[in-house]
Amino acid sequence: MGLIVLLAAFAVCVVIGMPVAFALGVASVASFFYEGLPMMIAFQRIVSGISIYALMAIPFFIFAGELMFHGGIAMRLVRFASSAVGAVRGGLGIVNVFSSMLFGGISGSAIADISALGSILIPVMKEKGYDDDYAVNVTVTSSLAGIIIPPSHNMIIYAVAAGGGISITKLFLAGFIPGVVMCICLAAVSYLVAVKRNYSSEVFPGFIVLFQHFIFALPGLMTAVIIVGGVLSGIFTVTESGAFGTIYAFLTTIIVYRALTWEKFKIAVINSVRTTAMVMILIACAGAFAYLLTFYQVPNKMSEMLVGISENPVVILLMINLMLLLLGMIMDMAALILICTPIFLPIAISIGVDPYQFGMILLMNLGLGLCTPPVGACLFVGCAVGNVKIEDSVRTIWPFYIGILVALMMVCFIPAISLTLPNLLG
C-alpha cells in the first residue's frame, strides 16, 4: 500500500502540472508520513543526494556550454563541418550531424546543441532549398550527440544514481564510440532522405579553406580536449576539468574570438544558474524517492516480474529497452536516470550486461524520448527554433528514429562498442 501512495502521489502531482522535482519530493514526504518513518530520514536523504563532490562538475559543464553557445564557438564549428562534408549530396544535413557531434562533445547538452546550431543551420538549410521539416528533424535528432559523447553531465548523474563503483572516467570513454556510431547512422539517414527529396550539394571549397576553417575552430575544439583529456589522463578530477574547461572557454570567447559581450555573458550566467538549480533540486528530491523505491523492494519485484515473463536475457533486455523508451516519452531525462538506474541496473547486471554498457543503453533510450512527443523537450525547442509545427515534424521524423534505434540495438547487442575503450583504460 505504501508503494501505491508513493506512485499515486507522484502521478497526481505531475498531472496537475507540478514540476517533476517537486513532485518527487512531495510523493516522498507523503510516503514517509504514511509509513510513520521519521521525517529526519527524509531530509537526510534529500541533503545527501546532492552532498557528492562529483556533482560539482555539473554547473561547470553547464556554464562552459552556455559560454560556448554565446561566444561564437558554434559558428566556427559549423564552418569547419561545412567545409569538410558539405560537398556530399544533401550535404547540409550531414553538416548538421557532424556539427552536433563536434559541439555536443564540447557542450554536453542536447538543448544547447539545438539552440546554438539550430539557430545557425536551420535558416541556412531553408535558404538552400531544404524543406523546413527536414532541417528541424536533422537538428533535433543529431542533438543527442551531446548526451552520449563526453563530457555529459547526464553521465555524472548516472554514476551517482548507480550508487558508487562507476568510474566517470570510464563512463566518458564508453560514450565515444556509441556516440560516433549514432551520428554515422543519422548521417546515413540524412543522406538517403536528401537523395529521395533531390536536395543539392555544396561545392567543396578546397583543402586550403578546409585547413583554415579547422584552424579557426581549433581553439573551440580544445575545450573538449581540456575537459575530457584532463580526466582521461588523470591530471584533473572530473570537477577540476570542468572548472579549467570553463575558464578556458571564457578566455577563448573573449580573447580569441572576441564574441562574448557583457550582455551575452549575463545571459550565460543566468541560464547556467537556472539550469543548475533545476538539476540539483531534482537530484536532491530523487534521492529520497530512490530510497523509498529500495525500501519497497521495487528493484527485486521488477526483476522477478521480468524473469517471470521470460528467462531469456535477450528478451529481458528488449523489455527493459521498451520500458525506458516509453518512460522517456513522458518524463524528464534527468529524473528518469535517477529513478530507473536503481531499478534496472541490477537486472541488467544479472543478465550479463556491463554497468558501463547499460549506461549507454539508458542514455540512448531516454535521449530518444527527448525527441518524441508528448514531452519531447528537444523536439519542442527544435520546432520553435525552426518555426515548424510539431505535427509537421513528427510526420516525417520516423526515418531518423529508425537510425537512432539501429545504433541503440548495436550498443545493446555488441558490448565491444561501449566497452573497448574503458577496457583499454582498465
Residues 322-338 pLDDT 10s: 988 888 877 778 778 88
Q: What integer pLDDT is reported at residue 363 of this predicted model? A: 93
Provide the whole-model pTM: 0.83
Cell of 290: 530512490
Higher pLDDT, 204 or 320: 320
In-domain check, residue 359: yes
Q: Is 127 exposed, middle or buried (0-12, 13-18, 19+ CB in 10 A)?
A: exposed
Contact 360, 174 (CB under 8 A): yes
> For 340-378, what is each residue's pLDDT tens digit?
888 899 889 988 999 999 999 999 999 888 888 766 778
As a whole number of angstroms, the distance between CA 193 and CA 292 comes to 47
- pLDDT over 90 at 120, yes or no: no
**Percent of the chain residues past pLDDT 90, beyond the cut:** 14
Q: Report the range of poorest mean pLDDT among 6-10, 58-62, 158-162, 393-397.
A: 58-62
User: What integer is the mean pLDDT of 215-234?
Assistant: 79
Q: What integer pLDDT is reported at residue 386 of this predicted model? A: 80
> For 247-283, what is each residue's pLDDT tens digit?
888 888 888 888 888 888 998 888 888 878 877 887 7
As a whole number of angstroms, the distance between CA 185 and CA 171 comes to 22
- pLDDT over 90 at 213, yes or no: no
Higher pLDDT, 349 or 309: 349
Q: How many structural domains are present in the chain?
A: 1
Q: What integer pLDDT is reported at residue 374 of this predicted model? A: 66
In-domain check, residue 32: no
User: What integer is the mean pLDDT of 290-302?
Assistant: 78
- pLDDT over 80 at 232, yes or no: no
User: What integer is the mean pLDDT of 397-422?
Assistant: 93
Angle at 247 between CA 243 and CA 253, to 5 degrees: 140
Average pLDDT along the chain: 83
The CA distances from residue 135 to 70, 80, 270, in Å, are: 22, 19, 29
In-domain check, residue 121: yes
> For 43-70, what is each residue's pLDDT tens digit?
887 777 677 776 777 788 778 877 877 7
- Split at pLDDT 50, 70, 90, the class of 105 is low
- pLDDT over 80 at 299, yes or no: no
In-domain check, residue 60: yes
In-domain check, residue 134: yes
As a whole number of angstroms, the distance between CA 353 and CA 24 comes to 29
Alpha helical stretches, state H, 90-167: 91-107, 110-113, 119-127, 132-142, 145-148, 153-161
Of 66, 117, 116, 420, the residue nearest 242 (C-alpha): 66
- pLDDT over 90 at 32, yes or no: no
- Split at pLDDT 50, 70, 90, the class of 107 is low
Q: What integer pLDDT is reported at residue 409 of this predicted model? A: 95
- Split at pLDDT 50, 70, 90, the class of 124 is confident
In-domain check, residue 409: yes
Residue where the block lists cell 515473463: 309
Q: What integer pLDDT is reported at residue 426 of this predicted model? A: 59
In-domain check, residue 250: yes
Which residues form the domain of 150?
53-425
Q: What integer pLDDT is reported at residue 50 of this predicted model? A: 73
Q: What integer pLDDT is reported at residue 424 of this predicted model? A: 82
